[in-house]
Structure 1
Amino acid sequence: MITAITEGIVVTVEVTYQAEFSSPHQHHFVFTYKVSIENKSPFTIQLLRRKWEISDAGDIPKIVEGDGVIGQQPILEPGDSHHYVSGCNLKSGLGKMKGFYYMEKVLDGKIIEVAIPEFHLISPIFNN
């Protein structure tokens, strides 16, 4: 697990390689990642957008942006948390992801850029 903290918003990511859905001989590597967002700040926030940079060894990094996460734009009161699982496919079996959530402080409408920590996507073929 890897963690980043921005203005009291704690983002933790845990990666799992999905061997049963991967086909290394066909250059298809599947990873899932579980994200936990904890609001340890004194203000209520809403997650509005996300921006990911996905690097696959040997390729130009891809930028993926969109509203919310998995179709949701959760509101987190102080002390609340939100968890979700998503996935990523790579061609090489070796990559990394990082990014930002754009969150709004509900009280004053201020937008804050919350860091998603960089994490590595490494298939078992690289762990030998």
Structure 2
Amino acid sequence: MRIEGVDVLRIHFLISADVLAVLRDRRLSRGAVLCNVRRRCVEMLVPPGTAATWPALPYTVCVADAVMCCPSPEVTSVSGRGADGRVWTAPPAAAVTTTDADALAEAVATVLVRRAAPWLDESPPTI
């Protein structure tokens, strides 16, 4: 299956579960989510033009005019099937939907701040 005409946001496995949890907790709709084991990331479809404005957030990269070679929508984490290290955790619908890029950027930023908080709140060592 090929998906064209969208940008793709790749979120590294180190933070992807937390980012998806933030989206879920905020009850924000999201489009398709592909787990790509070889790249150690999840890939999310975002509107065209997102890559041009995507902020430089750690553990993310946004690819413009991407062509995603991916398994058919039936190859999901629930089906137990996989294809070349790729499996849909949220397969695309008949009409491919994208996730709001601003909501994704806010979710990534939230996760990064939460992870940095223990170090930000720490008092400097006394000498």
Q: What band does the TM-score fall into relative to the shorter chain?
A: under 0.3
Which structure has the higher relative contact order (CA within 8 Å, separation 6+)?
A: 2
Whichever structure has more strand as a proportion of its residues is 1
Whichever structure has more helix as a proportion of its residues is 2
TM-score (norm 2): 0.27
